[in-house]
Structure formats: structure tokens, C-alpha cells
Structure 1
Amino acid sequence: MVKARVAVLISGTGTNMAALLYAAKAADCPYEIVLVASNNPDAAGLKLAEAEGIATFAHPHKGLSREEHDGIMHDALIAAKIEFVALAGYMRILSPDFVGKWEGRMLNIHPSLLPKYKGLHTHERAIEAGDSHGGCSVHLVTAELDDGPILGQTPVAILTGDNADRLGARVLIAEHQLYSRVLADYVARERTPDFLVQQVRERALALPEADEVVSHGMPCFGIIKGKKFAYISLDHHGDGKIALLVKISGAEEQAMLIDMNPDRYYRPAYFGDGWIAIRLDLGENDWDGIANWLAKSWRSIAPRKLAAMMDLIGEF
């Protein structure tokens, strides 16, 4: 199993980070924690991560603008080849630019049943409102505080005589259970055949006069009543791979690509030197790059009049 590379951002003790870290030790967990980073060099969670053999990074935010500090943290994430970011008690309001760079790949856990009680003092507010339950939510991070799409929730009963500390202690137990499960489900979906096929489909069918059929048991994209420019190989002949097959110039380009990255590229069986297979099940897919591969392959088989029309559209 190729595991998704996850960074956890913390500011303090990192109990949710620890829950994610220990869940990741299971052989069937689809993610691994490869970096724990903090705005607080004295955060206790950093010491735990180091003891568990996880790389750490810390940079204080004092004296820096929000954008400057976020830029430093972003560079650390990129250097560690991070695919997903999990906020776990990271006590910083993130800049819109940072959030935008990690859109759809950054999760947060919040101690309330969102959309109720965004912000702080969530347990007090739930008790004061007379709610029957508090709880926790995992959501995608957006520019607006605690407002992203909800990925999972766990209600926690409010008992007679509860105060914020007692309720908070039970909610924390629920957080530790919920976060690892939701993170695992979320990262795994990006390696499922249905998700990967849909991503390719959207980009392939956006090309002029493209259609989709099934050929040799594979989703296949071509120009209507014309040649095929892309296939999706789904464990073809039991090879255990999910890959996009596109046309290239020939054996020289094929050899160059395979030599450059033999894990990502390979020669597809039965397709010859004019095709390259690009693995999609390794994670870290550059979907803009995939769109470019599809467009290049489409152009190689498109009638001249259709290709010229696309060029003309591209000028505007």
C-alpha cells in the first residue's frame, strides 16, 4: 500500500496529533505522519513526535506577519512532500493565501457539532444553550473560520451537572476516535478507482468532441467516431496498478519518461512504443499536468480542422 504523506500542525500538547500518529502505525492505515510542525518551538507535542521518530519543524510567529509565517510553514510542508495537512490544536488563524494553496487537502477538528459554536468556548456555550449533546466535527479548512465542508461528526451527551471541563474531557476522547477515522477515509478516496476515473473523465470530456466508451475492459476516451487518445488501466491483467494511458511521440520519449521516474511511468503492455502509462494510484497527482497530457494526446489524433479550431479558441 502506498500511504498518503500527512503533516500535522500543532501549537501545544498535541493529543490529537498523537491519536493520528498511533492510528497510522496500523499496517492497513492509508496515511503516514511524516512531519509534525508548530508555531511554538516549545510545544510538548514536538517532543513526543521526535520520540516516535517523526520529523519535526518549528518556527515562532512573533515578529512576522501572518503571511510571512504561513509562507515559512508552507515551504516546510513542500520540502517534506506533504499531500495532506491535519490541523490539531494549531492556534493560528491562517491567511487566505495559505488556505488556498492547500484547498481540499487541509483538515481540522473542532470541539462542537458544527455549524453550532464556531470559535472558542464551545463546551460552555453548548451547556448554556441547554443542548442535549456537545461533540466534535472534522471539516475541510476554508478561508472562513470553522466553515468548511463537514466530513464527520460525533455527538457527545451532556450530562446533568456537567461543566465545560467534564464535557470537554469526553469530547476529547471522541475527537481522538473521529479524527483518525475521517482522515483515513478522506485520503483513501483519492486512491480509489471511482475517484481517479472521475478526475480523468472530467478532464478528458472537456476536450472538443470527446466521448467515452469501454474498450478491452477499460474506460476509454476518443474523438466521436474517431481515434482513441486515452485509456484508464484498472488492474489490467492483474498488474495491481491504476494508470492513465496516453499517446506520446515514440520509443525515445517513452524511455526518457521511464528513466526520469520509473515509479510513475511505465510501458503499457500491448500498446507499443507510442503510449505511456502514468500511475494514478501513487497519490500526489498533478491534475493540471494530467489535463495537459490528455490535451497533448487528444491533439495527436484530432483532425486538423478540429485542432485548428481549438488553437483559435485558445487565442481568446
Structure 2
Amino acid sequence: MMKAKVAVLISGAGTNMAALLYAAKAEDCPYELVLVAANDPGAPGLRIAETEGVATWSLSHKGLNRDAYDALIDEQLRKAGAEFVALAGYMRILSDEFVAKWQGRMLNIHPSLLPLYKGLDTHRQAIDAGDPFGGCSIHIVTPALDDGPVLAQMPVAIAAGDTVETLATRVRFAEHQLYPKTLAAFVMRERNPDYLVGRVRALAMALPEADEVSSHGMPCFGIVKGKKFAYVSQDHHGDGKTALLVKISGVEEQAMLIELDEDRYYRPAYFGDGWVGIRLDLGDTDWEAIDEWLRKSWLAVAPKKLAGLIGVAEEF
């Protein structure tokens, strides 16, 4: 199994990083840690990573503006070949530019049941509010602080007489359970057929007068009462692939695409030279490109009057 490459950013003890690291030692874990980076060269978590043979990088952020510092981190992540970033007690607000570069590929763990208690001092706020539960959340990172889509949560009961310290200790146990399995599911979703079909469906059905039917056991998208412009192949005839099939100009374009990237593009059986298969299950799908492929395929079969409306709309 090809494991997804994950970099972890820390600022201190790195206990959540360690939970991710030791979970990654399991043979069936779908990710591996390729870098642990810290904004504090004295962060104890760096020693854990080094001892376990994981590459590390550290540099104090003091004296550098946020954009410049984040550019240095981004450089290190790319050198390490990271595909995903996990924030694990990283106590720096990231620049919007950095977040944009890792959009949809960066997770954070936060010690509250979001959307409750964003920012700091979460346990104190939960106790003072008389909440029955504290807990932790894992969310996709967006420019707004602790505001991205929540992927998973684990509640932790607040006992009578709990202090910030006693509650924090139990929440930390919950974090160590929740983060590895949530990260594992997250890195695998770009290979999960249901997720991939859902992404294609959302894009295809956003096109004018699109509808969906099942054809030859495949989700199939067409123009209402018109021609089909896309199929999603899932292990069709046992080929093991999850792929989008779209219209192209013919054999020359098909051959050019396959030559360009033979792992991604292929000639779909039974569809002929007017179609190309695009693998969706390689883990690095460019969804903006898929959106454009669907649009071009739609235009190839759309009646001129309907296609003309698209052109008029795009001018505005």
C-alpha cells in the first residue's frame, strides 16, 4: 500500500504528534510521517521524532514576519514530499497564503467541541459555563481561526470538581485516540469510491439541465432528454479503477493524453476513441481540472442554443 506522506507542525511537547507517529507504525496505517517541524527549536516533541527516525526541522519565528516564516515552512514541507499537513499543538496563526497553498490538505486538532470555544483557554470556558462535556474536535484548516469543517469530535464528561488540569488530561487521552483514525480516514478519502463519485456528482449536476441515471452499472450524467457527457467507472469489468470518463475530440487527443500521463489517462474499454478515462483514485486529483473536463464534455454534447447560454453567462 502506498502511504500518504504527512508533515506535522508542533510547538511543544508533541504528544498528539507522537500519537500520529506510533499509529503510523501499524502496517495497515495509510499514512507515514515524513517531517516534524516546530517554531521552537527546544520543543520536546522534536526529540521524540528524531529518536523514531523521523526527519525534523525547526526555526524560531522571532524576528520574522508571518508571511516570510510560513514561506520557509512551506519550502521544508515540499522538500520532504508532504502531501498533507497535521497541526498538533502548533501555537502560531498561519498566514492566509500558506493556508491557501494547503487548502483541503491540512487538519488541526482543537480542545473543545467546536463551534464552542474557539481559540485559547477552552477547558476553563467549558467548566465556567457549566457544560456537561468538554472534548476535542478535528477540523480542516481555513483562514478563519478554528472555523473549518469539522471531521470528527469526541466528548469528554466534565466531572464535579474538575479543574482545568484534570479535564485537560482526560481530553488529551481522547485526542490521542481521535486524531490518528481521523487523519487515516482523511488521507484515504481521495481513494474512496463513494467520496470520489460524490465529488464528480456535485460538479456534473451543477451544469445546466444535467441529470443522472445508471448505465451499465455506472453513474452516468447527461443533459435532460439529451446525450450523455460523463460516466464514473468503478472497478468496471474488474479493472480496479475509479475513473471519470469524458468526451474528447478523438484518437489523437486520446493518444496525446495517455502519452502525457499513462498512469492517469487510459482508453476506456467499449467506449471507443471519442472518450478518455481519467483516474480519480491516485490520491492527487486536481478537482479544478476535473470540473473543466466535465464542462468541456458537456459542451461537446449540448445543443447549440443551450451551449450558447453558457457562453453568455460566462461573459458576465
The bucket for the TM-score relative to the shorter chain is: 0.7 to 0.9
Corresponding residue of 1:85 = 85
The Cα shift of 1:48 comes to 3.0
> Hey, what's the Cα distance between the residues in 2 that align with 1:20 and 1:294?
37
Query: Which stretches in structure 2 are left out of the alignment for 5+ residues?
Result: none
Stretches of structure 1 that go unaligned for 5 or more consecutive residues are none
- Residues 209, 129 of structure 1: alpha-carbon distance in 2 compared, 3 angstrom cutoff: closer
Q: Which residue of the partner structure matches residue 250 of structure 1?
A: 250
What code does the residue aligned with 1:248 have?
I
Segment drifting more, 155-164 vs 28-37: 155-164
How do 1:222-261 and structure 2 match up within 5 A? Answer: 222-261=222-261
In structure 1, give the amino acid aligned to 2:112: S
Distance 1:122 1:205, change over 3 A: closer
Deviation sequence 1:31-73 (CA, Å, 0-9, x none): 3323322223343333433443434333432222112222332
Runs (4+) of structure 1 moved beyond 6 Å? Answer: none
Matching residue of 1:45: 45
SS at match of 2:142: coil
Mapping of residues 1-316 of structure 1, within 5 Å: 1-128=1-128, 131-159=131-159, 162-316=162-316
Letter of the structure 1 residue corresponding to residue 139 of structure 2? H
- More displaced 10-residue stretch of structure 1: 199-208 or 306-315: 306-315
Greater CA drift, 184-193 or 157-166: 157-166
The Cα of 1:271 is off from its aligned counterpart by 1.9
Shift of 1:128: 4.9
Residue identity in the other structure for 2:62: K
TM-score, normalised with respect to structure 1: 0.87
TM-aligned CA deviation for residue 125 of structure 1 = 4.3
Q: Structure 1 pair 54/241, CA: closer, same or farther in 2 (3 Å)?
A: farther
Distance 1:88 1:202 in 2: 32
- With the length of structure 2 as denominator, give the TM-score of the two structures: 0.87
1:160: how far off?
5.4
- Per the alignment, do residues 81 and 204 of structure 1 end up closer, same or farther by CA in structure 2, a change over 3 Å counting? farther
- What letter is aligned with 2:228? K
Distance 1:112 1:314, change over 3 A: closer
Fraction of identical pairs, as percent? 68
Q: Distance in 2 between matches of 1:173 and 1:45?
A: 17
- Note the C-alpha offset of 1:87: 0.7
Whether the 8 Å CA contact 2:34–2:81 is kept in 1: the answer is no
User: Which 10-residue stretch deviates more, 281-290 or 49-58?
Assistant: 49-58
In 1, Cα distance between the equivalents of 2:239 and 2:303?
A: 34
Structure-2 separation of matches of 1:82 and 1:160: 44
